[in-house]
Amino acid sequence: MPQLKLAVLISGGGTNLQALIDACSNVDFPAKIEVVISNRPDAFGLERAKQAGIKAVCIDHTSFADREAFEEDLHSCIKEHGADLICLAGFMRLLTATFVGRWKDRMINIHPSLLPSYKGLHTHARAIEDGVRFGGCTVHFVRPEMDDGPIIMQAAVPISAEETEETLAAKVLRQEHIMYPQAVKMIAEGKVRVSGRICVFKGIDLGDTALISPLPI
Ligand code: GRF
């Protein structure tokens, strides 16, 4: 099967990027990172890409007159590298409906909550404050609304009595690193597709193990 070509967009540390780099370093993995693009020059993820021998590009959004001009360059760079799929990995810029439309069903994002709950920022603190029993993360296809779109994969983790924003973030991040490469693999192997507002799966075990917290006495 030909490898799916990825463009990974970042703004920061890039631990999810690293998880994708590590997965792609396996010759059997059905995807390859063609380019890593950051909108911030100081993003450590750019170093991670360089260390892995992957093309690293900074397109600094502050040097453009408006969002449209920035996205025009972004689009050209992604096309230039022949990417089939964009993976947003901690990319902290909102994208316009025009850009999202150009990459419809060819752009995915990872978000640190069980969507559609807790869109936006400070997801872990808000979940703890609400006393919900589970935190988690979601990989989804991108739609113009923030943190919206057909859900590909989710991981749920129980929230403990002593949980802090930091401990929950660390717990969830570990799952993100497992899940993001898996979601990319599913797409590359043609095992997931969008149907209306949701994803449908082919040859995938959707599981039937309940997560209960607190555990029944
Ligand atoms: C992750 O929590 C991801 O879910 C969110 O931004 C964070 C990026 O972290 N979209 P990293 O840069 O991959 O370490």
Q: What is the pLDDT of residues 95-137, one digit of tens each?
A: 999 999 999 999 999 999 999 999 999 999 999 999 999 999 9
- What pTM value is reported for the model? 0.97
Instruction: Please identify every residue annotated as catalytic.
Output: 111
Residue 75 has pLDDT above 90, yes or no: yes
Q: Is the pLDDT of residue 1 over 80?
A: no
Q: Within the chain, where are the H helices?
A: 15-24, 44-51, 67-80, 97-102, 123-130, 165-188
Average pLDDT for the chain: 97
Ligand 1 centroid vs 216 CA: distance in angstroms?
33
Which residue matches tokens 């007159």? 65
Regarding the beta carbon of 135 and ligand 1, being less than 6 Å apart is answered: no
Ligand 1 proximity of 11 Cβ (cutoff 6 Å): no
Q: Is 12 in the pocket of ligand 1 (CB under 6 A)?
A: yes
